[in-house]
Amino acid sequence: MKSVYAIALITAVCLFGDSMLYVALPTHYHEVGVSSLLEVGVLLSVNRLVRLPLNPVIGYLYRTISPRQGILMAVVLAGVTTSLYGVAKGFWIWVIIRAIWGLAWSFFKIGAFLLILNFSDDTNRGSLMGKYNGLYRLGSLVGMLAGGFFADQFGIGTISLVFGITAFLAIPAVLRYIPTTHGTVHQRQSVSSFETKPWWLDSRVLWILASGLLGSMALDGLLTATLSHVIVIRYPAVVKWLGLTMGASTLAGTMQAVRWLVGPWISPWIGRLSDRRWRRTQLLAFTLGIATLLMGMIPVRTPFVIWLILIFILLLVSSLVSTLSDSVASDTASASSAVAVMTTYAMALDVGAAIGPTLGYGLEALLGTSSMYWGSTMVLACLTIKWAWTAWSNRKQSEIHALSM
């Protein structure tokens, strides 16, 4: 259990710089030698794109190296790349730096997934996944809140150097709390229909991979990357509070930060709730339905305060969707090839999150701001229907099984 908490908090510290970029780069890109919002979209995506070929390699490496070695390498790479955000200038230099950060995140994410599988079973998997998601996103809280504010006040360079140095301070925690040996996930895999055919041919695996990709594209990639930009478009006037000027980066960062602040409470709560039999798919369908309605409200002209409240609720719901989706994927992996399924699931998340920013800014350039959010609404609606049908089918199967006993 300590290892799960430790890897979440270590990841949080190393996430400061990356999270800061999502609220600061769309409004401060000229400071780092980037010339357009389209290039911003590429930079916010490239770290995920490089993980597509890297994730299978990292998954294979975790069969031969210890969790401690993998996470230690990730921390060093995170510290180097975050520090370079403060001094590097030019689009192509930033592409290289963001690609190296993508390598670091692959070590973090796959290592965490496998560690949770090693310490969990069907009765606590959702709870542990929720605790991990809630805690590591505290890094997004600090990165977006402090990063957005100080980027507005002093620029990206100074805060990037501070965040980079902070990442290196996580090394002692890695050496103390991350295990040097692999767990016993393969010994606890249950007998199921997965054993009768390859995992990549099972419809349950394919559906959770597709859901992870599309949900990540709409909620993690597009929404997070375009939030500060859409605030400027919809409500260009800055906010005055306590004598301070609150720009779009600060406002978007504050909303995201409050979301991550409550994450350590709401993510484990939804995880524990989902550990009950058949509850996981029901809750996933329900939260996706709420996300669909709220995403559809973004293009609708509403009073500023109400609009911000709706956006904030959507951010909270997206955290619940992420925890539930990860838990369903872990259920699938625990009955199949754990390393292969979770590595592929991590890749699907990366594909979606990588497509999101580029697709969002691309759709805006071609069709306008509203179009990118209507498109996301349609994607989420399709996922809602799919998981509602799955939840209904699971319930019917459970009732038939109960009657036959």
pLDDT, one tens digit per residue, over 221-256 is 888 778 877 877 776 655 555 444 556 666 776 787
Domains and CATH numbers, the chain: 2-179+198-399 (1.20.1250.20)
pLDDT tens digits for 80-101? 999 999 889 999 999 999 999 9
The tens-digit pLDDT sequence of the chain (405 residues) is 788 899 999 999 999 999 888 878 888 888 888 888 888 888 887 887 888 888 888 988 988 888 899 999 999 999 999 999 988 999 999 999 999 999 999 999 999 988 888 877 777 788 888 889 889 988 888 887 788 788 878 888 889 999 999 999 999 999 999 988 765 544 444 434 334 456 656 778 888 999 999 999 999 888 877 887 787 777 665 555 544 455 666 677 678 778 878 888 898 889 888 887 657 889 999 999 999 999 999 888 888 788 888 999 999 999 899 999 998 888 877 655 677 788 888 888 888 887 887 787 787 778 777 888 888 999 999 999 999 998 888 777 766 655 665
Residue 186: per-residue pLDDT: 41
Structure tokens at 292: 């669909």
Nearest-CA neighbor of 280 among 318, 319, 329, 315? 329
pLDDT, tens digit, 9 for 90 and up, residues 156-165:
888 999 999 9
Angle CA 182–184–187, to nearest 5: 145
Output the pTM of the full model: 0.77
Q: What is the pLDDT of residue 367?
A: 79
